[in-house]
Amino acid sequence: MNNSKSSQARILVVDDEQSMREFLDIMLQSEGYAVQCAESGTEALERFQRESFDLVITDIRMKPVDGLAVLRHCKSTSPGTIVIIISAYANAETAVSAMKEGAYDYLPKPFKVDEMCTVIRNAIESREDVGMAPREQDGPLYFGCIIGESPAMHKVYELIGRVAATSSNVLITGESGTGKELVAKAIHRQSARCSRPFVAVNCGGVPETLIESELFGFKKGAFTGATANKKGLVEAAQGGTLFLDEIGELSLSLQVKLLRLLQEKTIKMIGGTEDIPVDARIITATNRDLEQMVIESTFREDLYYRLNVLPIRLPPLRERRGDISLLAEHFLAKFRKEFGKDIRKISSYAMDLLNNYDFPGNVRELENIVERGVALESSSIVLPESLTLAAYKRKAQNGSHADPLPSLPMQTTNLDQFLADLEIKMLQNALQMAHGVKLKAADLLGITFRSFRYRLLKYGLASEDE
């Protein structure tokens, strides 16, 4: 997928007022979108049979097919398409009806151009964030916001498609930073529940004393400070998907309550007595070894088997090295725009450095590295000096793979020769640690590639041809 808006979003404008159609057409094309117009709801329904759109802007008062009918048809045939309602006859009741039917937003006419552009931009970004599958012409590179064309990622895409068609529980495993929540969102958006809420809960990010009330809600008076009834996040996911990240962080007492939810499809609010039925698909994720936790009796075995009906393992970035360049270019485009910098390329030397790095923090670490690189770079190209690869720095600082510094001999010493020998030793050690990759070795020593190359030539450790 290209980075231009026109390739990212195809918009259909539906309005029986010619001046409004022409205004939106000109405005949206100037923003870089691919725009088509329909002069009636009937024409819009005909277009849906032949084409697909990322976003639809429709007036609500049209005859014989009004905007709500367009909205309903769009959501039933293409749930991932975003629909924005506009109307000169705005009222609260109509707005509520449109939102219940699945409209992204409702804007009264006349609207401000900046306001409409912001709504559309946010809508497109939210669509990408929830992991929509690509159109055929986009090819295998993107699966919504998940990026990769390696064989390992194609297996993940295939699993997402299969899993989304079922209602069974899913357990996503993988190291931190591999994109587990993106996969959960992609499953939700591919499923029959896509028009209902996707509720994400980080089980490790909420204090143990609060997680129960956050999940299950509470009744007024259940504890000090409970001044009113409050629904929990489980109930908020009614009809949709509940994503529980870092599930291995749940206490054993909460594991029991989650098991009851999975078995009975009901919950009890804190301080409540009645069972509340819940219809939500459960997707969980963890970077921990739950099987080992079961052996250690820190995770319930019966809960583990309930959660692990459909397992998906996300490969670490070091197992999909072919995707590093794609991801790096994606993040470059993102931060170039965010920082307002005219940086169009990552240098080949810098890209080599990235491709030979193990990324213990996975995709999240790569994103952070590129962000820092763009932020620090003063030229029009990201150079190796702007990249900070933490693991290499730690190894260099710890000296875990380097020989100890030579001690000063007792006899009279030629300082220049001693320092030269020391520098040669450090150059050799850095090359050994970097498996012969000079860019990586230079980074380990905290010097530029040019400076590293000069020193190799100076001591006869490399030739001009090299």
Across the chain, what does the average pLDDT equal? Answer: 83
Range of the domain at 52: 5-129
Q: Please name the helix (run of DSSP H) or strand (run of DSSP E) that holds residue 34, with its range, or none.
A: strand 34-38
Cis peptide before 108 (omega within 30 of 0): no
**What total of structural domains would you count in the chain?**
4
- Measure the CA–CA gap between 197 and 237, rounded to whole angstroms: 6
Please say which residue of 276, 292, 315 terminates a domain. Answer: 315
242, part of any domain:
yes
**Residues 309 and 325 both lie in one domain:** no
CATH number, domain containing residue 111: 3.40.50.2300
Handedness of CA 77, 60, 131, 370 (dihedral sign): positive
pLDDT of residue 6: 39
d(CA 446, CA 389) in angstroms, rounded, equals 11
Q: Domain check: are 309 and 457 in the same one?
A: no
| 400 CB burial (10 A radius; 0-12, 13-18, 19+) | exposed
- Strand residue runs (E) in 214-273: 241-245, 266-267
The band of 301, judged by pLDDT with boundaries at 50, 70 and 90, is very high
Kindly state whether residues 311 and 324 are assigned to the same domain: no
Portion of the chain with pLDDT greater than 70, in percent: 85
pLDDT at position 402 over 50? no
In a domain, 149, yes or no: yes
In degrees and rounded to multiples of 5, residue 242 shows phi and psi of -105, 120
425 and 365 co-located in one domain: no
pTM: 0.59
Q: Is the dihedral of CA 306, 314, 282, 165 positive or negative?
A: negative
Residue 30 in contact with residue 6, Cβ under 8 Å?
Answer: no
Span 312-335, average pLDDT:
92
The 3-state DSSP class for residue 123 equals helix
Residue 95's pLDDT band (boundaries 50, 70, 90)? low
Q: What are phi and psi of 57, to 5 degrees?
A: -110, 120
Beta bridge partners of 290: none
CATH of the domain at 171: 3.40.50.300
What's 327's domain CATH number?
Answer: 1.10.8.60
Q: Quick check: is 85 in a domain?
A: yes
Any domain includes 393: no
> Where are the extended beta strands (E) located within 52-128?
55-59, 82-87, 105-108
Same domain assignment for residues 215 and 194:
yes
Q: For residue 283, what are the β-bridge partners?
A: 170, 243
Asked whether residue 38 falls in the same domain as residue 117, the answer is yes
Asked if the structure places residue 377 within a domain, the reply is yes
Q: Are 149 and 1 in contact, with CB atoms under 8 Å apart? A: no
Domain boundary among 286, 315, 344: 315
3 confidence band (pLDDT: 50, 70, 90): very low
Token pair belonging to 85: 């309602």
Instruction: Tell me: do 28 and 121 sit in the same domain.
Output: yes
Q: Which of 62, 53, 83, 59 is nearest to 71 (CA)?
A: 83
CATH code of residue 419: 1.10.10.60
Looking at per-residue confidence, does 418 or 142 come out higher?
A: 418
In this structure, the number of other CB atoms found within 10 A of the CB of residue 358 comes to 14
Cα Rg of the chain (Å, integer): 28
Average pLDDT over residues 201-210: 85
Query: What is the pLDDT averaged over residues 334-353?
Result: 86
Question: Band of the pLDDT at 465, cuts 50, 70, 90?
Answer: low
Residue 351 lies in a domain: yes
Q: How many Cα atoms sit within 13 Å of 219 on the Cβ side?
A: 12
Q: Is the dihedral of CA 52, 58, 60, 66 positive or negative?
A: negative
296 shares its domain with 179: yes
Say if residue 136's pLDDT is above 50.
Answer: no
Q: How confident is the model at residue 78 (pLDDT cuts 50, 70, 90)?
A: confident
193 domain residue, yes or no: yes
Last residue of a domain, one of 315, 332, 359: 315
Tokens standing for residue 116: 């409409």
CB 180 within 8 A of CB 314: yes
pLDDT of 194 above 60: yes
Q: What is the pLDDT of residues 107-117, one digit of tens each?
A: 777 777 877 88
Task: Check whether residue 47 and residue 163 sit in a common domain.
Answer: no
Question: Is the same domain home to 255 and 237?
Answer: yes
Residue 378 identity (one-letter amino acid): S
Which parts of 226-343 fold into alpha helices (H)?
233-236, 252-264, 290-295, 301-307, 324-339
Question: Do 239 and 303 share a domain, yes or no?
Answer: yes
CA–CA separation, 81 vs 173, rounded Å?
29
Q: Answer yes or no: do 90 and 67 share one domain.
A: yes
Residue of 411 and 263 predicted with greater confidence: 263
Confidence check: pLDDT of 243 > 50: yes
Residue 395 placed within a domain? no
